[in-house]
Chains A and B, each alone.
Chain A
Amino acid sequence: MTPVISVRGLTKSYGDFEALKGIDFELCAGEVFGLLGPNGAGKTTTIEILEGYRRRDAGEVEVLGADPATAGLDWRGRIGVVLQSSAMYENLTVAEQLAQFAGYYEHPRPVDEVIGLIGLEEKRDTRARRLSGGQRRRLDLGLALVGDPELIFLDEPTTGFDPGARRRAWETIRSLSGLGKTILLTTHYLDEVEQLADRVAVLREGRIVASGTVQELVGGALATEIRYRRNGEFVVLETDEPTRVLHELTTAAIERGEELDGLEVRRPSLEEVYLSLTQAEPE
């Protein structure tokens, strides 16, 4: 099957500054792909090149079988976009805004269905300027979905959402992916990635430093941690062979007839893996 997005050797500089130093990845149909990375890593640069807004310097990029730099109007009808900063007509109501954008597409979703998806039923007839920050962001998501696109780019879509709204947005994104839509998402919320993404890539200073499923990332990167308390002090062991180390530790304790106080075996969280990937000194 041909991938929905394929990126090979993509580079981009702003003046002397190399924002992307050659990145590669692919997205298959129906996949949710998470792009992670600290501020300035190059996430928005990447996503806007794929959306056709920015020109690349080098590399091959194919999105829905076309080069985004030259793709036409039909191609744009098949993608949905949430930009990092929200923008909308301040003087239109939620429903009017969605109806205006719906009119640009061949087969839009019904406006009221979209309003339901983003949970703004009560604000249906409120003008955008009177929405709260999170409500605006939800409308942003709605505007990306109203054309019923098959590929959706979401640049930090849930920033500013309250916890309930975030869960609902996750539900929406999951159901979209259930319908076979492909989704490329950037975020700073690691729980969001754990909840949604089939695969992730971690960007750092314009390079992909890790990629794979969340399990692969968490499993591969860091040692398992074993902690317990001895004489009131924590002892922390880091090991790649937790089974053997734990066995030795507990066997010795049983022989001594001791209890290991506060014994804990921890796999590193995605957050710890992420921090170690993005904060360690580059080799």
Chain B
Amino acid sequence: MRLFRHELRSQLRLYGRSRELAFFTFALPLIMFFLLGSVYGNDRIKAEGNVRAADYLLAGMLGYGAIATGFAGLSIMLVIRRESGILKRVRATPLPAWAYVVALLCTTLIAFALEAVCMSAIGRIFFHTHVHNLFSLALALLLGAAAFTTLGLALTVLIKSAEGSSAVVNAIYLPVSFLSGAFFSPHSFPAALKAIANALPLVYVIRLVRDIAVHNQQIWDRPGDVAVIAAWGLAGAIIAARRFRWEPQEG
């Protein structure tokens, strides 16, 4: 436990120090939210029950923040650390593997929590957004972000090199965010695209967040979405537990 606290403090400091990562996964979703909100935040979305676009967008962007921070940011950082040999070095110390991984996941979740707070603040200040059921909302975001972190761990298994990591990760999470309606309503998407989106976890996270924050429901009203998200997270955790590598490719 002492080791875990030590590692969590270290990881938080490391996270704060890495500027590229902080920009890419932390600031970018905030900027995107601001830009998109400025474009259509004051509209009403008829297809989605005539809700205010800013409220609708905020929920989608919170989901986008979760996938950017939890999935994309974490996996890129881990691949870089693995390929540069830092993970290998850490393995030579008496730090238990679980302490390292859990500290890293907690760091990512803390970063996302901060991002979610910033995003809500931007929404409230600039676009007069209103969210319902804060407690349920926090639980839903935590669930979604946690699932994306274990999927991020699992993704590192597929990435071979540090150079390729951000290309691979971007090629996955940006289209997924788009398809899942993070940036605007997917209402008019062709059926094939909707079918693809429905096979992926982000749609469920965003829908859950919207149902809670915009449509005034509670997380326990949506057990189906919760189950799908948890299943994805569990799948990620199982793959990571089985296949996670600490050593660089050629080692």
Within the complex, which residue of A53, A74, A91, A106 is in contact with B17, where a contact is CB–CB below 8 Å? A91
Number of interface residues of B (CB under 8 A): 21
> Which residues of chain A are near B94, meaning CB under 8 Å?
73-74, 76-77, 104-106, 147
**B160 cross-chain contacts in A, Cβ below 8 A:** none
The answer to whether A91 and B14 have CB atoms under 8 Å apart is yes
Is B35's beta carbon under 8 Å from chain A? no
Q: Is the CB of B89 within 8 A of A91?
A: no
State in angstroms the CA–CA spacing of A86 and B86 once bound together.
9
Judged by a CB distance under 8 angstroms, whether B50 is at the interface is: no
A79 and B92 in contact (CB under 8 A), knowing A53-B251, A91-B14, A92-B14? yes
B3 at the interface (CB under 8 A from A): yes
Q: How far is the CA of A263 from the CA of B18 in the complex (A)?
A: 65
The smallest C-beta distance from A211 to any residue of chain B, in angstroms, reads 26
CB proximity to A under 8 Å, residues B1-32? 3, 6-7, 10, 13-14, 17-18
In the complex, how many angstroms separate the beta carbon of A28 from the nearest chain B beta carbon?
Answer: 23
* CB neighbours of A106 from chain B (8 A): 94
| A contact face: mostly helix, strand, loop, or mixed | loop
Number of residues on chain A facing chain B (CB within 8 A): 26
| Known A79-B92, A101-B93, A105-B93; contact A87-B85, beta-carbon cutoff 8 A | yes
Residues of A near B88 (CB, < 8 A) are: 53, 83, 87
Residue pair A51, B10 in contact (C-beta under 8 Å): no
Q: B84 to chain A: closest CB distance in Å?
A: 5
> Of residues 235 to 251 in B, which have CB atoms within 8 Å of A's CB atoms?
247, 251
Extra 13 A-B pairs, beta carbons < 8 Å, given A74-B94, A87-B89, A89-B86: A48-B251, A53-B247, A76-B92, A76-B93, A77-B93, A81-B92, A87-B84, A88-B86, A91-B14, A96-B13, A100-B6, A101-B93, A106-B94
Q: List 11 A-B contacts (CB under 8 A).
A: A53-B247, A53-B251, A73-B94, A73-B95, A73-B96, A83-B85, A87-B89, A92-B14, A100-B10, A103-B6, A104-B94
> A interface vs B, CB < 8 Å?
48, 51, 53, 73-74, 76-77, 79, 81, 83, 85-89, 91-92, 96, 100-101, 103-106, 143, 147
